[in-house]
Structure formats: structure tokens, C-alpha cells
Structure 1
Amino acid sequence: MITVLIVDDDFMVARIHRGFVERVDGFEVVGTANSGEQAVTALRELRPDLVLLDLYLPDTFGLDLIAQLRAEQPDCDILVITAAREADAVRGAVRQGVVNYLLKPFGFEDLQSRLREYARRRSSVPDRVTSQADVDRVLAPSRQTANHLPKGLSPETADLVATALRGAEHTLSAAGCAEQVGISRVSARRYLEYFCSCGQAEVALRYGTTGRPERRYHWLS
């Protein structure tokens, strides 16, 4: 059972997220917190495996809290759930090693897919590493992305684009992705089309009243 601490400034939102998590097999909510100070205290007492962390807290910004949480429990994982769409926030979260970044508002299926993905990655780590093959199996997804990216695309930016696409409420355009990640629209489209070619995303055309149809991208859970 993977234990979860929910950190959100709105106690009603925290209650909704708790209900979502408890509908996913293999996950158990052990507590909630409504501020950074409460989160540190709860982490110290409850020792959860995973923290669902809102970034807009009354006493601190969530990204600034991550270091404190890991000082209390170094092996604690963080999944960001927030309305923060700024590129700096996404980049900062990725740099601090969060397991995912989910934009509010979201539905049960959005959170469920990310929790299941986290559980799969967590279970892929063996209790004991006996060979390089054990390590390679754990790193396989990231190694595959790095080794097969087309020339001119970087694994770091690919991770940022994937995070933005996963966090999109419905679909995301190249322009919207570029704004979130902080790259050009042309570059964003190259990464988005790459994920479509790999079967990790899909694209659909949205027709307006005038001009060319807009390409909208969706991450496949």
C-alpha cells in the first residue's frame, strides 16, 4: 500500500482529492495539511510515501517547501497538483525531481492515470540491485527517450514538454505548450509531433471559422 499525504490550502479541495486517491487501488491517504508548516509536521509524524503538493500555500510557495520535506524524509516522492501554469514553476518542479505535475482543475481519471504510472515506476525498482540489467530496467523509459530523440531535440526539454502535455486540462496547442515551457512554437511542435510518432500522444484538428485548422495534442495515459 502506497501512503499519501495531501497538502492543499483549501480544505474542501483537499477532501475532494482525498476521495479521488482513495478510489485508486493500492493507495491510502494517511493525512492532509493546509499549509507548509502543517505539511512538515505531518510528514514527520506520518512518513508517507507520496505527497500531493499544492504550490499556492498560505505561508510558502510549494517549490520552496520541497527541500524541507525531503530533509525530513529523503525518500519521499512529490506529485505537484496546482493551478500554476508558469513555465518557471514547471521547470522548477522538474529540476527538483517531482514525479508528475498536474494542473487544476482536473478529474478523477487524470489523477488516477498519474498515480498508476507512479505505482508502476515504483514497483519497477528491485529491492536489491544485483546487476547492471536491474538498473537498466528501472531506467528504461528515460534511456529510451534520450537514445531515440531526433537530432536537435534534448531529453531535458522533452521532459518539460511531456509534463506540460500531461498536465493539460483537455488538449494543448503548440503555441500553448511553447508558452508554458519557454521555447519557440516551432520547437514545441517538433517535440509534440515526436511524442505522437512514438504513440505517447495523439493529435486532432480543431476547425475554426477562418484560416487553417489548429493542431491540438493530447497525452495518452
Structure 2
Amino acid sequence: MIRVLVVDDDFMVAKVHSGYVARTPGFTVVGVAHTGADALRAARSLRPDLVLLDIYLPDMDGIAVLQELRSQDGDTDVIIISAANDVDTVRRAMRGGVLHYLIKPFSYSALFDQLRHFATLQEKLGRLAVAGQADVDQVFGARPRSAANLPKGLTEQTADLVERVLRQHPEGLSATECAQVTELSRVSARRYLEHFTSTGKAEVTLKYGGTGRPERRYHWLNR
């Protein structure tokens, strides 16, 4: 079992996230903390495999907790789960070595995908004596997308934006909804969505209702 410490200042949110973890096969919650100090004490005593860490804590922010965890003699991995969505915080978390960053609110399926990805990587690394490049790519994420692989007229920066929005909406988005969130035109949003679909990174489902054509809804495939 992968042992998880849940850290969130909101008691009800911590309870919900703990329930998410408990529902995921192969994972168990070994502790819950509501302050940064309690999180550090729990990490030292419980030695969890994974910490689900909030940023907004009453005594210290989550980045400070992350830095302290990294200075401790331990092998705990961290996934940030927070409403903090400013780029500076995301960048600091990335530099601190977090595995992923989930922005609240998120669905169980979004956390489930990350937990299962973590479990898969742990299992894979546990079997390896020497890592090949493909193994390293899987651990650290896909290699940067090359602009040369994008159709003419599409840019890497906008593709990253559309990908991020799709990942944040596991329930799926229509081209119109994606355009509203990304502030792109509907035509542009659909071009990126169709590109991701044609390359196997996203899939399309049809939503029927009323008259006219069914609505195309795009879902990012977490593989």
C-alpha cells in the first residue's frame, strides 16, 4: 500500500481528499494535518510515501513546507493540491520537485489519474536496475513538444494552453467552451482540439440533445 499524508487547512476539504485517496486501490491515508508545523511533524513520524500538500496553510505556506520536507532525510514525494493558481507559486512548486500540481476544485478522476500514475512509476522504478531514456521520459513527463510537429498555423505556446485547459476539465469541453476559457476564437480552439484528437492525445464524444448536429466534446487522455 502507498501511504499518503493529506495536508489541508480546511477540515472538510481534507476529509474529502482523504476519501478520494481511500477510494483508490493501493493507497491508504496514514495521517491528516491542518497546519504546516503539523505536516512536518507527521511527515517525520509517519514517513509517508506521498504528501498531498495545500499551499494556503495558517502558519506557513505550502512551498515552505515543501522546502523543509526536501531538507529532511526522507523519500517522500509531493503533489500540490491548492487553489493557488498564480504562476510564481506554480514555478516555485516545480522547482521544489513536486510530482504534479492540481488546482482546486478538481474531480476525483483528476486525482485518481495522478495517484495511479504515481503508483505505476513507483512499480516501474522498483523493477529497474538501470533506466533507459524511455523510462526517464516517463518519470519526468513527456519530452517538450516540438513546434515542427504542429500543423502550420499552430503554435507551441497556444497548444500548451489548450492542453492545460483540457487537463483541468476532465468532464470534457466543447470547442465553444474551450474558446471561452482560453480566450481564443472558436475556430482556433477547435483546430487545436482536433489536432490533439488526431494525434491520440484527446478523444471526442458526441453529446446528443435537441435538434441539429450533436455537440463534440473533447477529453484529454491521461496515459
Task: Give the shorter-chain TM-score range.
Answer: 0.7 to 0.9
CA distance, structure 2, for counterparts of residue 44 and residue 80 of structure 1: 19
Q: Is the 8 A contact 2:204 2:219 kept in 1?
A: yes
What are the ranges of 5 or more consecutive residues in structure 1 without an aligned counterpart? Answer: 179-184, 206-214
**Cα pair 2:172 2:217 within 8 Å, conserved:** yes
Indicate the residue corresponding to 1:55 in structure 2: 55
Q: Cα–Cα, structure 1 residues 99 and 198, in superposed 2: closer, same or farther, change >3 Å? A: farther
Q: How many residues align?
A: 201
Shift of 1:60: 1.5
Give 2:114's aligned residue: 114
- Equivalent residue, structure 2, for 1:17: 17
**Contact persistence 1:7–1:51 (CA under 8 A):** yes
CA distance in 2, matches of 1:106, 1:144: 21
Cα pair 1:100 1:163 within 8 Å, conserved: no
The equivalent of 1:135 in structure 2 is: 132
Deviation at residue 161 of structure 1 after TM alignment? 7.0
Flag the structure with more relative contact order, 1 or 2, with Cα contacts below 8 A and sequence separation at least 6: 1
Distance 1:136 1:126, change over 3 A: farther
Give yes or no for the alignment of 1:146 onto 2:143. Answer: yes
Q: Which amino acid aligns with 2:66?
A: I
Change (3 A) 1:51 1:60: same
User: Closer, same or farther in 2 for the Cα pair 1:148/1:54, shift >3 Å?
Assistant: closer
- Give the equivalent residue in structure 2 for 1:212: none
1:22-56 CA-to-partner distances (Å, cap 9, x unmatched) read: 11110011001001110000000000000001111
Letter matched to residue 30 of structure 1: V
- Between 1:68-77 and 1:163-172, the stretch displaced more is 163-172
**Structure 1's 192 and 46: CA in aligned 2 closer, same or farther, altered over 3 A?**
farther
Alignment check: 8 A CA contact 1:9 1:54 kept: yes
Instruction: Indicate if the aligned counterparts of 2:55 and 2:61 stay in contact, CA closer than 8 A.
Output: yes
* Secondary structure in structure 1 of the residue aligned to 2:106: coil
Q: 1:76, 1:191 → 2: CA distance?
A: 37
Partners of 1:82 and 1:39 lie apart in 2 by 15
State the match for 1:66 in structure 2. 66
In 1, are the aligned partners of 2:137 and 2:143 still within 8 Å (CA)? no
d(CA) in 2 for partners of 1:144, 1:65: 24
The alpha carbon displacement at 1:78 in A equals: 0.7
Superposed CA offset, 1:81-129 (max 9, x none): 1112222222332232211221222232221122111111221214552
Q: How does 1:43-192 map to 2 (within 5 A)?
A: 43-130=43-130, 134-141=131-138, 145-146=142-143, 149-151=146-148, 153=156, 165-168=166-169, 170=171, 173=178, 176=181
The SS at the match of 1:114 is helix
1:6-45 pair list within 5 angstroms: 6-45=6-45
Match of 2:212 in 1: none
Bigger CA radius of gyration: 2
Assess, with a 3 A threshold, how the Cα gap between structure 1 residues 147 and 59 changes in structure 2: closer, same or farther. Answer: closer
Instruction: Give the AA of the match of 2:87.
Output: A
User: Is this contact kept in 2: 1:43–1:72, CA < 8 A?
Assistant: no
TM-score between both structures, scaled by the size of structure 1:
0.72
- Over 3 Å counting, the alpha-carbon distance change for 1:23 and 1:204 in structure 2 is closer
CA distance 1:60–1:138, change in 2 (3 Å)? same
**Worse-matched range after superposition: 90-99 or 108-117:** 90-99
Please, which moves more after superposition, 57-66 or 25-34?
57-66
TM-score (normalised: structure 2): 0.72
Distance 1:47-1:195 versus aligned 2 partners, 3 A rule: farther
